[in-house]
């Protein structure tokens, strides 16, 4: 460890100077995060397994429609949203918060404030997710994509989020680093971006009750805010952290990173209205135009990352967590380019109503964000818990399962979407004729889902056992050892 530290100290004198100011060592900082962050991670891992079970079920139903079709709780219209909601709110959002909290403590060199409050927030957040998912399964879905959970869970999640975010903001305010590492800007903005987008969309869709096509517009706005901006902010924060760390060089250009932040925040949330949508023409066209600006984010980002890492790309392959992050970074670029291309009208008209869009959102949410999170998680957890992973070899198994899963899921669905969209454009092709060719691609994408599930089981195995050792092992050992009568009396009393 010392080797990396010393090479970093040589990286920049200012970091050196700032170091002196903090009363806390990295170990202290980690300790402050330990309880809430580990809990957030292990519960995120749990929901991930749940999510992929439902995801697998949902894709199976696409080519085996008879499967569990007689049980209302397991019909496609409920299973599919459970998959997404568990992925987004069970895993991605709390996982993102966990990573943010740790980075926040480390980079502001301030111990996490009120960890108990965060823990309580996380605990009840999970209760909210449970209620929400059961709500969807029992048929109480709202029908708005990414917001299917019944409206009362919106309140639970929002309040719980505040419980987690307020201490995070306080940590930032009481920071010991005058001018913290740029990742912090992204995380700080993200802290506010989620409640803003979530509360706005829930209020409009589930409480005020927008009418007609405005529902779809508000929903697109929300999905884009969450998928592109919120996940983008946290994912990029992680990327920047690891880029400098892995290359053992200072991150290239503070100012260009700032530019990325502003471009993303200003132009990232306009997109996503498809050209075929039954909305006034200016909406999809404005979306398409702002997507042009998002390309600038990719260009500047490529410049920043390349100048930071060039010559050290190999270092990313040295350890599995870094590989996850590298994969996520590449997926961010691919997803950005795909978003841009599909916003162009002739392309949009072909792919807009097909599985292509599904491949697109998965590429962003999973290929980019989840993969980046996995990398951070594998990196952070052993430091927090101060334990080795119980099954270190499984980390690389998870990487390959997840990476192949993304490829096997995204590529076939994208191809299927293009084929199907092309056929749908031809007036003389009947609908079923246009849909049939996609069957084979759906079968392949199911293999991707199986890989996801296996990968998540592997992750949860590692996380779960580690968490057990961290949180319960001592406690269980005391009970088991308490064979002496005196202690037994104590327990009984």
Residue 387 interacting with other proteins (CB under 8 A): yes
What is the nearest approach in angstroms of other proteins to the Cβ of residue 216?
14
User: Which of 107, 137 has the CB closer to other proteins?
Assistant: 107
Phi and psi dihedrals of 69, rounded to 5? -70, -20
| 355 in Cβ contact with 412 (< 8 Å) | no
Residues 217-246 binding other proteins (CB under 8 A) are 241, 244-246
What is the nearest approach in angstroms of other proteins to the Cβ of residue 71?
41
Piece of the chain touching other proteins by CB under 8 A; list 216-224, 247-255, 406-414, 439-447 = 247-255
Burial of 155 (0-12, 13-18, 19+ CB in 10 A): middle
Piece of the chain touching other proteins by CB under 8 A; list 3-11, 39-47, 58-66, 199-207 = 3-11
- Pick the binder of other proteins from 319, 334, 437, 443 (CB under 8 A): 319
Residue 336 interacting with other proteins (CB under 8 A): no
| 340 in Cβ contact with 294 (< 8 Å) | yes
313: helix, coil or strand?
A: coil
What is the nearest approach in angstroms of other proteins to the Cβ of residue 130?
31
User: Which of 263, 335 has the CB closer to other proteins?
Assistant: 263
Residues 287-316 binding other proteins (CB under 8 A) are 288-290, 292-293, 296, 299-300, 303-304, 307, 315
- Pick the binder of other proteins from 388, 428, 491, 493 (CB under 8 A): 388
| 450 in Cβ contact with 56 (< 8 Å) | yes
| 260 in Cβ contact with 332 (< 8 Å) | no
Packing angle of the helix pair 282-309, 320-343 (nearest 10 deg): 150
Closest CA to 202 of 179, 226, 184, 171: 226
250: helix, coil or strand?
A: coil
| 420 in Cβ contact with 433 (< 8 Å) | no
- Pick the binder of other proteins from 147, 233, 263, 371 (CB under 8 A): 263
Looking up tokens 């990396």, which residue turns up? 4
User: Which of 25, 433 has the CB closer to other proteins?
Assistant: 25
Closest CA to 275 of 220, 333, 337, 236: 220
Residue 45: how many CB atoms within 10 A of its CB? 24
Piece of the chain touching other proteins by CB under 8 A; list 11-19, 37-45, 142-150, 192-200 = 11-19
Residues 339-368 binding other proteins (CB under 8 A) are none
**For residues 47 and 86, what is the distance between their CA atoms, to the nearest angstrom?**
6
User: Which of 136, 277 has the CB closer to other proteins?
Assistant: 277
What is the nearest approach in angstroms of other proteins to the Cβ of residue 350?
15
- Pick the binder of other proteins from 275, 364, 398, 456 (CB under 8 A): 275
Closest CA to 375 of 470, 236, 230, 242: 242
Residue 465 interacting with other proteins (CB under 8 A): no
Residues 410-449 binding other proteins (CB under 8 A) are none
**For residues 310 and 493, what is the distance between their CA atoms, to the nearest angstrom?**
64
What is the nearest approach in angstroms of other proteins to the Cβ of residue 48?
20
Residues 168-207 binding other proteins (CB under 8 A) are 177, 180-182
**For residues 429 and 413, what is the distance between their CA atoms, to the nearest angstrom?**
21
| 121 in Cβ contact with 162 (< 8 Å) | yes
What is the nearest approach in angstroms of other proteins to the Cβ of residue 250?
4
Residue 107 interacting with other proteins (CB under 8 A): yes
Residues 14-73 binding other proteins (CB under 8 A) are 14-15, 19, 25-27, 30
Q: What is the DSSP string of 324-337?
A: HHHHHHHHHHHHHH
Determine the size of the site formed for other proteins (CB under 8 A).
Answer: 76
- Pick the binder of other proteins from 257, 424, 434, 450 (CB under 8 A): 257
What is the nearest approach in angstroms of other proteins to the Cβ of residue 207?
24
Residue 12 interacting with other proteins (CB under 8 A): yes
What is the nearest approach in angstroms of other proteins to the Cβ of residue 275?
6
Residue 479, C-beta contacts closer than 8 angstroms, at least 6 positions apart: 491
């Amino acid at each position: 460890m010392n080797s990396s530290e010393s090479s970093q100290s040589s990286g920049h004198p200012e970091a050196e100077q700032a170091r002196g100011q903090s009363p806390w060592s990295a170990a202290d900082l980690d300790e402050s995060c330990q309880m809430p962050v580990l809990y957030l991670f292990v519960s995120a891992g749990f929901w991930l397994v749940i999510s992929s079970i439902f995801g697998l079920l949902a894709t199976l139903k696409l080519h085996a429609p008879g499967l569990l079709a007689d049980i209302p709780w397991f019909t496609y219209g409920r299973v599919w949203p459970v998959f997404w909601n568990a992925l987004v709110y069970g895993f991605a959002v709390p996982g993102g918060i966990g990573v943010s909290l740790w980075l926040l403590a480390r980079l502001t060199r301030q111990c996490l404030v009120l960890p108990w409050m965060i823990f309580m927030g996380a605990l009840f957040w999970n209760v909210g997710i449970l209620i929400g998912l059961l709500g969807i399964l029992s048929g109480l879905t709202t029908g708005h994509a990414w917001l299917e959970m019944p409206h009362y869970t919106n309140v639970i999640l929002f309040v719980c989020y505040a419980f987690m975010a307020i201490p995070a903001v306080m940590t930032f305010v009481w920071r010991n680093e005058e001018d913290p590492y740029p990742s912090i800007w992204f995380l700080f903005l993200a802290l506010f971006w989620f409640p803003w987008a979530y509360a706005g969309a829930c209020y409009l869709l589930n409480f005020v009750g927008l009418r007609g096509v405005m529902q779809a517009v508000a929903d697109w706005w929300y999905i884009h805010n969450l998928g592109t901006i919120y996940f983008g902010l946290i994912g990029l924060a992680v990327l920047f952290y690891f880029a400098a760390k892995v290359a053992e060089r200072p991150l290239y250009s503070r100012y260009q990173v700032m530019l990325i932040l502003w471009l993303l925040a200003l132009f990232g949330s306009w997109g996503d209205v498809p050209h075929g949508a039954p909305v006034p023409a200016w909406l999809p066209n404005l979306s398409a135009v702002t997507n042009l600006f998002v390309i600038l984010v990719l260009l500047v980002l490529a410049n920043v990352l390349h100048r930071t890492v060039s010559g050290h790309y190999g270092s990313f392959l040295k350890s599995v967590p870094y590989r996850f992050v590298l994969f996520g970074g590449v997926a961010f670029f691919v997803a950005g380019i795909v978003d841009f291309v599909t916003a162009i009208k002739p392309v949009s008209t072909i792919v807009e109503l097909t599985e292509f869009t599904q491949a697109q959102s998965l590429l962003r949410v999973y290929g980019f964000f989840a993969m980046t999170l996995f990398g951070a998680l594998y990196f952070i957890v052993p430091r927090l818990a101060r334990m080795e992973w119980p099954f270190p070899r499984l980390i690389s198994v998870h990487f390959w399962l997840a990476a192949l899963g993304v490829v096997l899921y995204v590529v076939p669905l994208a191809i299927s979407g293009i084929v199907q969209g092309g056929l749908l454009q031809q007036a003389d092709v009947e609908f079923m004729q246009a849909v049939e060719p996609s069957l084979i691609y759906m079968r392949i994408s199911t293999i991707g889902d199986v890989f996801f599930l296996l990968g998540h089981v592997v992750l949860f195995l590692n996380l779960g056992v580690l968490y057990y050792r961290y949180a319960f092992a001592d406690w269980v050992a005391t009970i088991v050892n308490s064979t002496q009568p005196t202690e037994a009396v104590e327990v009984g009393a």
